Amino acid sequence: MKRREFIRTSGILGAAPFISKEGLASPLSKSNMAGTPRIFVTGGSSDDTMMKYFMGLTGKKKPKICLLPTASADRDSRILRWFERANGLGFEPYVQRMFVSSYRQKVEFEPFLLSMDAIWVSGGNTLNLIAIWKAHGIDKILKKAWDQGIVLGGGSAGSICWFEQGSTDSRPVELSAMEALGFLKGSHCPHYYSEGPRRDSYHEMIMDGRLKDGYALDDRVGLLFERQELKKVVTSRKDGKGFYVSKVNGKIVEKELKAEVLANN
């Protein structure tokens, strides 16, 4: 299928607010998750190996996974890549846009999102993401999803959002501190080594009290939390690292988190 035809039939540029790989809205059904609240966060650039790990957390052979591309302003190119990725990895893809109208979307946010096996949040502007979610009540729906055992996850903006606080590039001029949803305790810094100013800026913000102690991750490094407890650290690259960064006796301390290298299969 040609790229233009795929976009037209899938509804990405059309009226469908959420679509399956075949381009048809699927009937809503209650997710039958095991019930343990889990969140999987990555430092960014989550490749197929990391996504396979996320898929596996659902316990489903072909899980229903919904993309929330709010941080990228529901960008069509990001949504298209989501469907292309699903085709290669074998999950059932859905998308929930936040830029909707009552003429186009005839199902409320809550029943749709709570019918998923997992929800993945894209990167982009974290500050805008939080503001839009709170305006629509998505933050409360995601809390219900988490409590019900629907697996939550994301990278960059999609990882910052779950913590109490984060280091963000969502404002002009420089990196800054922001308040997030608070499902997970502490603060978070993605792209720890891949983006030059991130590490030093995160240290400064913890040192002067703008941010709480927290987790810093390289790209393609992930943390699995069950409830608010860190259960596992994984990476799809041999040199990938994660850290717990804290202020101890007036100094910044980096504690490296031992990561399991995931098999690329």
DSSP helix/strand/coil, 254: strand
Single-letter code of the amino acid located at 251: K
Active site residue: 191, 201, 203, 236, which one?
Answer: 191
Beta carbons of 64 and 239 less than 8 angstroms apart: no
167 is catalytic: no
DSSP states of 30-63:
--------EEEEESS---HHHHHHHHHTTT-SS-
187 is catalytic: no
Active site residue: 156, 170, 187, 236, which one?
Answer: 156
Alpha-carbon gap, residue 61 to 90, rounded angstroms: 8
> Which residues neighbour 52 within 8 Å (Cβ) at sequence distance 6 or greater?
89, 262
How crowded is the C-beta side of 169, counted as CA atoms within 13 Å? 13
> Which sequence positions are flagged as catalytic?
156, 191
